[in-house]
Amino acid sequence: MSSVEECRAAIGKVSDRIMKVDEADRRKHLVERTVSVTVPDLDTVFDMRLTRNGLEDVTPRAAAAPADRAQVRITVSSGDLVELAEDRLDFAKAMLSGRVKLDASFGDLLRMRKLL
């Protein structure tokens, strides 16, 4: 199990990866969205915004704390979040095996696939 700080650092790595995508591709495929990453083993949710500048305003909160419903919702264990960020776990395989749950519109799924 990873810590809240390690998960936050992992989210930072994902944001850095988004920023490495060509700016023209980011403009083409990225639409600003609210995102929540629920980490059940830490009883924590990270709320953030996906923008052309990566993941911004990353804020952890207790899973039971009230919040607005995000447009893109991801549920993943702390260890898997770190592995995804470090490219040791393939996102598609993790999703198909149930290690990652993603709740988003079909259009958002297609756009995210192009970025990650």
Q: Find out whether 18 and 115 touch, Cβ atoms under 8 Å.
A: yes
Contacts of 3 (CB under 8 A, 6+ apart): 42, 78
The pLDDT tens digits of the residues spanning 101-112 come to 999 888 887 766
For the full predicted model, state whether its pTM sits above 0.75: yes
The pLDDT tens digits of the residues spanning 23-45 come to 998 888 788 999 999 999 999 99
What phi, psi does 108 have (nearest 5°)? -65, -40
Query: What per-residue confidence (pLDDT) applies to 112?
Result: 67
The pLDDT tens digits of the residues spanning 78-101 come to 999 999 999 999 988 998 999 999
Other C-beta atoms lying within 10 Å of the C-beta of residue 39: 24
Distance CA 20, CA 96 (A): 26
Res. 116: pLDDT tops 70: no
